[in-house]
Structure 1
């Protein structure tokens, strides 16, 4: 049956509010609730929301805002500060888990390209879980948070590079002329973004920085405008939005913009995670379940001790390193994004995409519960952990 977008949004957000309440009582990340809701009322189950393609189009806007905000938070001074201990830890752990994920996928019969993308998906830890479950009231946790953020930011940069590679692979399959255009477009978009930001945006922001509504509109226009420009030149909208964020990151007002756009980003991201769950087919999930369990175990069991070992080697205490490892012991929402983009560009099979999505969902559920059970979080299971 045909449905209005209003009715679909009503079902999504009312259902999300109900399941998010249950998720919080169960000490789970709310994005788990959004994915499970999509699986429950999507086409594969109850079929209450059946226009998944329309929802995917809406959720794409959320990904654009997500990458714009990621670029806004990549301040140059922060990047220079991270080029040290975190670089060694991030690169070392990323290479190890990419190798383990790729080998595992190969053993389960996936082809080379599928295995490479599956391995790449295993490299990353969840920014949402890592930061949302981190208290910020005690000095120890502030230091732990700085360590976790340093790893997550560098992982996000690696994810952006992988997205560029995936887009380049899709361009190469479309012809060398297109691939050449994409190669030339990237530096052109970078130059334009930084020049326009410096000579136009900076002056507009300085002139009207007291009018918050104007700053909000200007930020949205800049983000979506750069996304469209990048797409017109053969790049992806996500890359354009990321570049738009980086170009403004040096401005003092960038943190204000980031805070103002978070609610808008969160609205579209709820739709993204819902559509992700709605797009999963139960029969396909059963097919990839054994491999998904193995990948999830690799992340849940091996990531904590690996991060602990690497951070101890960098001079951190064993207790802090162990906590960092536990908080980074899952697969990332960026892995979900890579899976979706790789499928859209016909780089990997649908089965490989389902494998990444299911393994990620398993680690979200198990890791969230383990962190809340063992470490201080905003929704800790005991008063002692809330006070720690």
Structure 2
């Protein structure tokens, strides 16, 4: 490993230990401390970390493990029923959020294309923040957790379609290639799901049954299975996160699934620290003065409109008032997919650097605001109050 990478890891995790201690003493969310540390150590401030792009790529593994562990807690039958029930809620809410993002961007005099892409970025909620703030041993087995997860998965499917649409617009000269980019994931998703369940039944479960006394082997097998499915999903035109989630769901019926989930949590947390650090490190602080007001407007509107829209739509599913509000506030932020949309649209020349940073700043602000709302109001693993802390 390059000495600069070793030095970067020292700064990140040494610094994270310091800011985490300060955050706990001052009763602040750890997620925000990691983002602030990234901004401080990144290229726009002290320039202590030289590899933000490399670290961003490595941190992506944390998201993959997060989705894998989530899948291990979801029974396939419950998941299917929830997806079927919540599909129209996800579609209508996404269209609503895109509209308010578009008109807000227009009000700040961004171009039509930039406003459309900013609207697109506002459609989704953060899988990472939402799942990080769900109690891992309580809500996943309850109705609220299933509803949050179902909506997030449906949004992820819509987000993948949106990313493919951006790529198609950016390479519109090759029409046949654009059609294939849409067709590939439509065929790939059922192929991935079917292959995963067959492999679990005929390969993984027999191996686990035979060698379950070798804990190191189970650990390696589960990591290999997670990353293999993530890679297969990308080859089939899907996201690595979706592949990891399918890998987890396929293995959820195994009696050893909870053992695997418990043992992979430290590895997941290692990479998630890198993820939140890289968000802060990749933001250009020199543009903050240009983007802060539209980003604040979008962030505040997101935190107000999303809970109200979900409250109204979930009422149509006969959900009670408290559950609807909780789901809405848990989904009140924008998504890491919004960051991908910003990076991709900027690289394709569809939006300028300023519009890209508006999306990034909005994501960071909503991560912060949403985290505060959840840790102060609902059960979660990092709550300030002992009454709300659940893990």
TM norm structure 1: 0.81
TM-superposition CA deviations, 1:339-385 (whole Å, max 9, x none): 44655676655433322221122123233334444556566566777
1:105 maps to 105
1:158 to 155, 160, 164: 155
TM-superposition CA deviations, 1:301-347 (whole Å, max 9, x none): 22233333334454444445444433433333443455446556766
1:199 maps to 202
User: 2: distance between equivalents of 1:193 and 1:354?
Assistant: 38
Cα distance 1:170–1:152, how it changes in 2: closer, same or farther (>3 A)? same
Alignment check: 8 A CA contact 2:134 2:140 kept: no
1:31 maps to 31
* Offset at residue 124 of structure 1 (A): 3.2
SS across alignment from 1:48: coil
* Offset at residue 14 of structure 1 (A): 1.4
Map 1:219-298 onto structure 2 (within 5 A): 219-231=222-234, 237-298=240-301
Deviates more, 1:34-43 or 1:244-253: 244-253
1:351 to 329, 350, 354: 354
Over aligned residue pairs, what C-alpha RMSD do you find?
3.7
Alignment check: 8 A CA contact 1:226 1:244 kept: yes
User: 2: distance between equivalents of 1:346 and 1:246?
Assistant: 38
Cα distance 1:239–1:339, how it changes in 2: closer, same or farther (>3 A)? farther
User: 2: distance between equivalents of 1:378 and 1:237?
Assistant: 26
TM norm structure 2: 0.80
Alignment check: 8 A CA contact 2:90 2:154 kept: no
* Offset at residue 159 of structure 1 (A): 1.5
User: 2: distance between equivalents of 1:223 and 1:53?
Assistant: 23
1:59 maps to 59
* Offset at residue 47 of structure 1 (A): 0.9
List gaps (5 residues or longer) in structure 2.
none
* Offset at residue 39 of structure 1 (A): 0.4
Deviates more, 1:65-74 or 1:150-159: 65-74
* Offset at residue 32 of structure 1 (A): 1.4
Deviates more, 1:309-318 or 1:350-359: 309-318
Alignment check: 8 A CA contact 1:343 1:349 kept: yes
Alignment check: 8 A CA contact 1:144 1:324 kept: no
